[in-house]
Amino acid sequence: MLAAVCLWSSATPVTKLAVAEIAVGEFVALRLALAAVALWLIVAVTGTKARLRTVGWRPLVMGLLEPGLVTLSVSFGLTMTSPVNGSVFWSLTPLLMPVLGFLVLGERLEMAVVAAAALAFGATLLLVWGQNEHGGGSWLGDLFVAGGVVASAVNALLARRTAQAGANPLVTSCWQLTSGALLTALLLALLPANRGGHVLEASPSALVSLLYLGLVVSGGVYILSNYALRHLPVGRVGLFSCLVGPVGTAMSALLLGTELSGLDLVALGLVVGAVLLPSLLARRSHMPR
């Protein structure tokens, strides 16, 4: 999950670079198509069996939610809001995941995780407020990103069920990304052309961003997270998403020069502390007395 978080954190500032030159619909469709092709090549090279009958219907629905709906919603939101907001809004995930895991999957609701999620949520609101005041944030853009986060949380429930059934993470990710790519391609063909540049007119930096997001981030994140869900409950996996905010914010500041205030840094510190809290409490409870 830490490896997945590092890849996912880099996606927000790099996406911001790409969608500044490439229309959102075209960008999302190409990104997911690249990822799906790359994963199917891995399946072919390794000789992995990837029949849909074996893995079931869940990966197809997962792909419609994430990356399909999630990538569209978040990418569109990032055209209107700060990349810092785009990163830290994933801190909402740990507030949703333990509750959804408890209600839908019957997983134990750890009070330490709930307390940490509440702290992370409060810190996220503080950071979003600061960015909307001085860092180029937008409440409408934030709403689209938040909608993507909710879709991602629902997807995680399906992913947990699929992982518990013993599905191969690579095969799950292949069908998931294929479903998402087909959805975005269909929307791109049916909907009116959205404003923005075409990929053939993009600069080399925007094209490199697209290739990185498609070949490295999209493929790697889903393989890693689907594997992690075999071994961790969704509440604990969701808590790792808090780290996307601090890491993504640092990358946004370095790559895009996004402004950060002292209040922003305090809020980021609170998010990191919230992530560490359950692990520290669990370690302390197991220490010999």
Tokens of 273: 């502390």
**Hey, is 22 helix, strand or coil?**
coil
Determine how many CB atoms are found less than 10 A away from the CB of residue 274.
Answer: 24
Dist. CA 210–CA 15, nearest whole Å: 8
Mean pLDDT of the region 280-285: 67
pLDDT at position 150 is 83
pLDDT at residue number 92: 64
The pLDDT-based confidence of 212 (bands split at 50, 70, 90) is very high
Using omega within 30 degrees of 0 as the cis cutoff, is the peptide bond preceding 94 cis? Answer: no
Query: Backbone dihedral region of 288: left (phi > 0), alpha (psi from -120 to 50 degrees) or beta?
Result: beta
Determine the pLDDT at residue 175.
92
Write down the pLDDT at residue 207: 92
The first and second tokens of residue 104, run together, are 């839908």
Check whether 32 has a pLDDT greater than 70.
yes
- Specify the pLDDT at position 91: 62
- Asked if residue 288 has pLDDT above 70, the reply is no
Choice among 27-31, 56-60, 198-202, 225-229 with the minimum mean pLDDT? 225-229
pLDDT band at 135 (very low <50, low <70, confident <90, very high): low
Residue in this structure with the two tokens 């370690």, named with its chain if needed = 283
Do 144 and 73 meet the contact criterion of CB atoms below 8 Å apart?
yes
Residue 40: per-residue pLDDT? 92
| Burial profile 52-62: b = 16 or more Cβ within 10 angstroms, e = fewer | eeebeebbbbb
Q: How confident is the model at residue 71 (pLDDT cuts 50, 70, 90)?
A: confident
The Cα–Cα gap between 19 and 35 comes to 17
Sign for the CA dihedral angle at 213, 215, 217, 218 comes to positive
The mean of the pLDDT values for the chain is 79
- In angstroms, the CA 220 to CA 2 distance is 12
pLDDT in tens, 79-123: 887 777 776 676 667 667 777 777 777 777 777 777 877 787 787
pLDDT of residue 208: 92
The tally of domains found in the chain comes to: 1
Would you state the pLDDT for residue 11? 81
The range of the structural domain enclosing residue 204 comes to 2-285
SS3 54: helix
Q: What percent of the chain has pLDDT over 90?
A: 9
The span from the CA of 65 to the CA of 77, in Å, is 16
Please report which confidence band the pLDDT of residue 287 belongs to, taking 50, 70 and 90 as the band edges.
low
> For residue 166, what pLDDT is reported?
80
